[in-house]
Amino acid sequence: SSLLLMSGVVVTVGLCRRLARRRLRSRPHLFAFLVEMFSTFQICACTNELSLLGNVEPKPHTALTLTYGFTVLHGLTLAGSTCNPCGTLQPMWGGGTSLRMGGLKVAAQFVAAVLARVFMHFIWSLEMAEPHSGALSQGCSSPMQTTEVQAFCIELLFSVVFQLAVLRAESVNPKYRVHLIALLITMLVYAGGNLTGAIFNPALAFSLHADCFYDKFLSYSLVYWIAPSLGKFFMYLR
């Protein structure tokens, strides 16, 4: 049921992106906002569902296999979208994207994060699959299982490694690049998932753990917003 749900999200987002591309080409700002929102919604919704499958046996092989598979699927179906506020910052700093366009994309990413969370909570309330039972009663299921300083350093390091890999992979054939990036993300999740969740995406972090931001806004904003953004800034200065 979980796989069917995520596949349904991917198909629906694909149809919405295609419709926006056909109807809104003459309105570039609205087109950019909607495409980025649809794309980020797909990643946030699917990752919310994947987060419930982390304890499916055999552990952690099932979770890592699904992470790799859906990362490849996202890469193949969401070409042209960053789905990450940190990824939007680089062209803004480099002058390749206007402040208005960059701001629209970041706003779209956080709107999508909220919509995906609301949507998934509605789906979980229906309890269509076994992992959905009790999912809404968890509250702040904190991914931070280490000190704030260590968590900050881990998310900062992972952001730098990820952004560096993306830059290095630009010259690789696209059909191989998506697998390289998916493999890297899977390795990072394996290495640090039990400590911080290995998210390095501010919008995704908010969608997954909004309750934790409400409870401990300062510490979570430092680890899951400031750290990955700072990592992107370091890459820009290199």
- Model confidence pLDDT, tens digit, residues 110-157: 999 999 999 999 999 888 777 787 778 777 778 899 999 999 999 999
Which comes out higher in pLDDT, residue 57 or 62? 62
CB 31 within 8 A of CB 20: yes
Give residue 41's identity as a one-letter amino acid code: F
Q: Which is higher by pLDDT, 230 or 232?
A: 230
Q: According to the model, what pLDDT value does residue 201 have?
A: 94
Mean pLDDT of 182-204: 93
* pLDDT digits 0-9 by tens, 69-110: 999 999 999 988 999 998 888 777 766 778 889 999 999 999
Could you identify the residue written with the tokens 């953004």? Answer: 229
Grade residue 179 by pLDDT with cuts at 50, 70 and 90.
very high
Determine the Cα–Cα distance for residues 2 and 69; give it in Å rounded to an integer: 14
List, for residues 7-59, the tens digit of each pLDDT value. Answer: 999 999 999 999 999 998 889 999 999 999 999 999 999 999 998 887 677 77
C-alpha to C-alpha distance for 4 and 7, rounded to whole angstroms = 5
Tokens (6 digits) for 168: 């290095």
- Global pTM? 0.93
- Dihedral through CA 135, CA 228, CA 60, CA 38, nearest 10? 60
Structure tokens at 16: 């919405």
pLDDT tops 70 at residue 238: no
- Architecture in CATH for domain 2-237: Up-down Bundle (1.20)
Backbone torsions φ then ψ of 135, nearest 5 degrees: -65, -30
Provide the 8-state DSSP code for 84: S
For residue 236, what pLDDT is reported?
63
Handedness of CA 39, 44, 45, 47 (dihedral sign): positive
Q: For residue 62, name the pLDDT band (cuts at 50, 70, 90).
A: confident
Reported as a pLDDT band with limits 50, 70 and 90, residue 237 is: low
Q: ∠ CA 146-162-33 to the nearest 5 degrees? A: 105
Domain range annotation of the chain: 2-237
Token output for 206: 């908010």
Q: Residue 66: CA atoms inside 13 Å, Cβ hemisphere, count?
A: 23
